[in-house]
């Protein structure tokens, strides 16, 4: 079975999507429609902007989404049998499997980025990568720290990201090293994504998601929150609302997709982060990049 996966924030690079814009009439039309919807020329930043400009949350999230979705729409023989996306990538996956329209997906991603940005400004918060510890050890260390710090991204065995209040994350990093972590490294991010610190953003996004039409998809999406195949539009909607404050179960999603018959994983979008993680989750997995 053909599985298509879509990357999240952090995969962006200057020049992303430029070749699509120049070589495909459909891509050009969709990029211009995106400029119109967003109210600024995101294509100028994507194609010619600096790394700093691209790193702004209000730009990064729509940029990665646009690259993924437009690339998927220009692929020949794009017939997904299952899809999944990492964090932000779940929105790309939901356009790819027909749950969301291109326009609605972009509007939600833009609203999500702005809501997250606002939530980041309320309390100093951050994320950190923890390498070389078992999942349960990371969870136990987080639980032992005063303040808010939780496991946020289960990326692959031995690679987790924790998220929460800055002081709590710093304390957790020291405790992780003491527990035998190879590395515990604060990440250059704007805030504590996929943690309780995102509650204000979740409430804001929930209203936007509730008022958006979700259609029955052409194939199941393996959602970050459950790591299971979901085809019911209402259930997809519910899980998407929970996603902002819940961990990204990427390891578990990939394992479930393999158990359900995935034979080829194709990453659609900028970078090759997900194919790298999939190969670490299962060394036998066959991966490709669109």
Active site residues: 87, 194
Q: Alpha carbon 3 to chain centroid distance?
A: 16
Distance CA 135, CA 147 (A): 20
Half-sphere exposure of 122 (CA within 13 A, CB side): 14
For residue 190, report the phi and psi dihedrals to the nearest 5 degrees.
-80, -15
Q: Output the DSSP codes for 83-149.
A: EEESTTHHHHHHHHTTSS-HHHHHHHHHHHHHHHHHHHTTS-EEEEEEES--HHHHHHHHHHSSS-E
């Amino acid at each position: 079975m053909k599985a298509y996966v879509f990357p999240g924030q952090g995969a962006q690079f200057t020049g992303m999507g430029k070749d699509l814009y120049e070589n495909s009439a459909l891509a050009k039309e969709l990029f211009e429609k995106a400029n119109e919807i967003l109210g600024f020329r995101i294509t100028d930043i994507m194609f010619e902007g600096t790394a700093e400009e691209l790193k702004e949350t209000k730009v990064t999230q729509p940029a990665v989404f646009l690259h993924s979705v437009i690339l998927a729409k220009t692929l020949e023989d794009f017939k997904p049998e299952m899809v999944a996306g990492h964090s932000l990538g779940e929105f790309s996956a939901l356009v790819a499997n027909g749950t969301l329209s291109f326009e609605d997906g972009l509007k939600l991603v833009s609203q999500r980025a702005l809501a997250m940005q606002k939530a980041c400004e309320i309390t100093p918060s951050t994320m950190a990568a923890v390498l070389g510890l078992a999942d349960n050890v990371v969870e136990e260390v987080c639980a032992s720290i005063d303040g808010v710090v939780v496991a946020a991204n289960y990326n692959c065995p031995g690679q987790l990201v924790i998220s929460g209040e800055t002081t709590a994350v710093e304390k957790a990093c020291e405790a992780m090293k003491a527990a035998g972590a190879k590395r515990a490294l604060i990440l250059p991010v704007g805030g504590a994504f996929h943690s309780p610190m995102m509650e204000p953003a979740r409430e804001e996004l929930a209203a936007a998601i509730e008022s958006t039409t979700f259609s029955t998809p052409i194939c199941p999406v393996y959602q970050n929150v459950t790591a299971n195949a979901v085809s019911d539009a209402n259930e997809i909607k519910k899980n998407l609302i929970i996603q902002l404050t819940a961990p990204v179960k990427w390891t578990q999603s990939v394992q479930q997709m393999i158990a359900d018959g995935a034979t080829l994983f194709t990453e659609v979008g900028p970078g090759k982060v997900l194919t790298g993680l999939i190969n670490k989750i299962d060394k036998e997995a066959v991966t490709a990049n669109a």
